[in-house]
Amino acid sequence: MNSVLRIVLQRLGLGVVTLVVVSFVIFVAVNAMPGDFAQAILGQGYTEEAGEAIRREVGLDKPYFVRYFSWLGAALTGDFGTSFAKANFAAYAGNTAGSGLDTVAASIAPRLENTLFLAGVAAMIAVPISLVLGLLAALYRNTIFDRFTNIFTLSSISSPEFFLAYILILLLAVLNPLLPSLSNVFEGMPFSERFIKTLLPALTLTLVVTAHMMRMTRAAIINLLASPYIEMARLKGISPMRIIVVHALPNALAPIINVIALNLAYLITGVVVVEVVFVYPGIGQLFVDSVKIRDIPVVQASCLIFAAAYILLNLLADVLSILSNPRLRHPK
The mean pLDDT value for 74-79 works out to 82
Whole-number Å distance between alpha carbons of 143 and 308: 42
| Among 2-11, 103-112, 303-312, the least confident range | 2-11
Is the pLDDT confidence value at 87 over 80? no
Residue 99 lies in a domain: yes
Residue 28 lies in a domain: no
Partnered with residue 102 across adjacent β-strands are 83
| Half-sphere CA count of 239, side-chain side, radius 13 A | 4
- Bin 63: left if φ > 0, else alpha if -120 < ψ < 50, else beta: beta
Segments forming the whole domain that contains residue 172: 36-303
The CA-based angle 119-204-300, given to 5 degrees, is 50
Residue 214 lies in a domain: yes
Residue 299 lies in a domain: yes
Q: Residue 279: how many CB atoms within 10 A of its CB? A: 12
182-237 pLDDT, tens digit each: 888 888 888 888 999 999 999 999 988 888 888 888 888 888 877 888 888 888 88
Whole-number Å distance between alpha carbons of 217 and 223: 10
Predicted TM-score (pTM) of this structure: 0.81
23-61 pLDDT, tens digit each: 888 888 887 777 666 666 666 666 777 777 777 777 777
Q: What is the CATH number of the domain that holds 212?
A: 1.10.3720.10
The mean pLDDT value for 136-157 works out to 86
Contact 255, 220 (CB under 8 A): yes
Is the pLDDT confidence value at 98 over 60? no
Whole-number Å distance between alpha carbons of 40 and 293: 8
Residue 327 lies in a domain: no
Count of structural domains within the chain: 1
pLDDT at 117: 92
pLDDT at 41: 66
The CA-based angle 167-307-259, given to 5 degrees, is 60
Whole-number Å distance between alpha carbons of 33 and 14: 29
Summary mean pLDDT of the chain: 81
Residue 147 lies in a domain: yes
Residue 9 lies in a domain: no
| Higher per-residue pLDDT: 51 or 87 | 51
pLDDT at 243: 81
pLDDT at 96: 43
Residue 297 lies in a domain: yes
pLDDT at 329: 60
Is the pLDDT confidence value at 149 over 70? yes
The contacts of residue 322 (CB under 8 Å, 6+ apart) are: 4, 7, 8, 328, 329
